[in-house]
Amino acid sequence: MSPVFVGLVGSFVLLLLLFLGMPIAFVMMLVGFLGISFLSSVDAALPLLADNLYGAVSHYPYTIIPLFVLMGTFASSSGITTELYNTFEKWFRRLPGGLGIATVGACAGFAAVSGSSVAAAAAMGTVALPQMKRFGYDPKLATGVIAAGGTLSFLIPPSLGFVIFGMLTEQSIGKLLIAGVLPGAFLSLFYALIVYTMVKLNPKLAPIVPQRSTWKEKLLALRGVKETFVVFLIVMGGIYGGFINPTEAGAVGAFSLFLIVLIKGKLRIDSLIQGLFETIRISCMVIFLVAGANVFSYFLALSTIPTQVSTWIMGLGVSKYIVLSIILAIYLLLGCFLDAVSMMVLTLPVIFPIVVSLGFDPIWFGVIAVLMMEAGLITPPVGLNIYTLAGIARDVPMADIFKGTLPFLLAIFAVVILIAIIPEIATYLPKLMLK
């Protein structure tokens, strides 16, 4: 029996078990272990499984995961979300769709201190949604902009998306995080433009807020972004300047936000305990997924499937951008059924070697991949941000929330195309890093 056939059988079994509801981390470990045992030996498979499990929980750089999640917990507790929204609302309220644009700005600001898109959607849902409802915003637009804005936390550093991509592909997490800055700014701008255009074409979607803000009020409102700016500057400035590594940056960021919560007198024991439990839950999930992906990747390497697929694609003689388009279409389809992290661990063992063999920059592709994962957060029927927001906006049907996010998918695709045409948007800042 050829190794390739064994690899195909293993991949089929993996998909079958996933459809039956088995957790993806354990599916990948099981299939990987059985495949390695068949292609090599049980004596080779057992130590490999043990080493990957132990390595995933003991590898020092992986501590960045709980630290970035903890940053989001402290950011939510500190009231930063409300302050950010109030600041942007003062500046943009008189524009068509001004409250929606303010929501995008606040989501981008929150993303700068939090790596969790679900936390961002939940936090902004409680702050921005009541205001938009109060001024008569269309429910689809209001919920859609919040759900889409929440995805920015998966792209703008500190981003768990880049951390997981770096762990799975052994790329520099620091460079990946820095690479997300400009694309994150472009996507935020495109989101805001979509809100503005929609309301300009159909003013009934979002009545203009009658109250005007004076220049004094606008300038005073800028105080609401100072904490976010300082934390982002410390964390990303430290990484960019080579003063601290990403793991240390996560620790510094979490501690800085903890001090902010403490100084503002908003530290509550119940919220702290709940945040710590959520941090543990997410961290354990990601670490087991990475361990499972590593075992499955070793099995695929033994089966030679990635090598064979790469050789076959190279022999087709088609443009590498056609291959990239096919990969993006696969990600878009998978995003309808899998969460972002699961998509990464399931596909990167096969897709990443193909991308590298085609001559694409690994950091550049990391940005493209994370953008496509973002799309998966708001595509039906398994958009995590949609389900999060549905729990807050109980009077808005989930189908309407999904419809509300569709225009913002165009923004994600536009940024992907833009980065494909101008790769320097993703690669310029990482190349300037001092370390």
Say which DSSP state 225 is in: G
Q: Is residue 183 domain-resident?
A: yes
Spatial distance between the Cα atoms of 389 and 123, rounded to a whole number of angstroms: 10
Q: Is residue 203 domain-resident?
A: yes
Task: Give start and end residues of each alpha helix (H) in 242-268.
Answer: 246-263
Q: Is residue 37 domain-resident?
A: no
Look up residue 296 and give its amino acid.
Answer: F
The model carries a pTM of: 0.83
Closest by alpha carbon to 24, among 279, 293, 281, 280? 293
- Is residue 312 packed enough to be buried (19+ CB in 10 Å), middle (13-18) or exposed (0-12)? exposed
Q: Is residue 300 domain-resident?
A: no
Three-state DSSP class for residue 137? coil
Q: Is residue 298 domain-resident?
A: no
Residue bearing tokens 């293993």: 10
Q: Is residue 96 domain-resident?
A: yes
Asked whether 371 and 183 are in contact (CB, 8 A), the reply is yes
Q: Is residue 27 domain-resident?
A: no
Domain count, the chain: 1
Q: Is residue 56 domain-resident?
A: no
Q: Going residue by residue through the chain (435 aa), what tens digit of pLDDT does each one get?
A: 788 888 888 888 888 887 787 888 888 889 888 988 988 888 888 888 888 778 777 777 778 888 888 887 787 777 777 788 888 888 887 888 888 899 999 888 888 887 777 777 877 888 888 888 888 888 888 888 988 888 888 888 888 888 889 888 888 888 999 999 999 999 999 999 999 999 999 988 888 776 777 777 777 777 777 888 888 888 888 888 778 888 888 888 888 888 888 887 777 777 778 778 878 887 888 888 888 888 888 888 888 877 777 777 767 777 888 888 888 888 888 877 777 777 888 788 888 888 888 889 999 999 999 998 888 888 876 677 777 777 777 778 888 888 888 899 999 999 999 999 999 999 998 988 755
**Domain extent at residue 174:** 62-283+306-432
- Distance, C-alpha 107 to centroid of its chain: 13
338 backbone dihedrals φ, ψ, rounded to 5°: -125, 155
Q: What share of the chain is helix, strand, coil (3-state, %, to 5)?
A: 80, 0, 20
93 backbone dihedrals φ, ψ, rounded to 5°: -60, -30
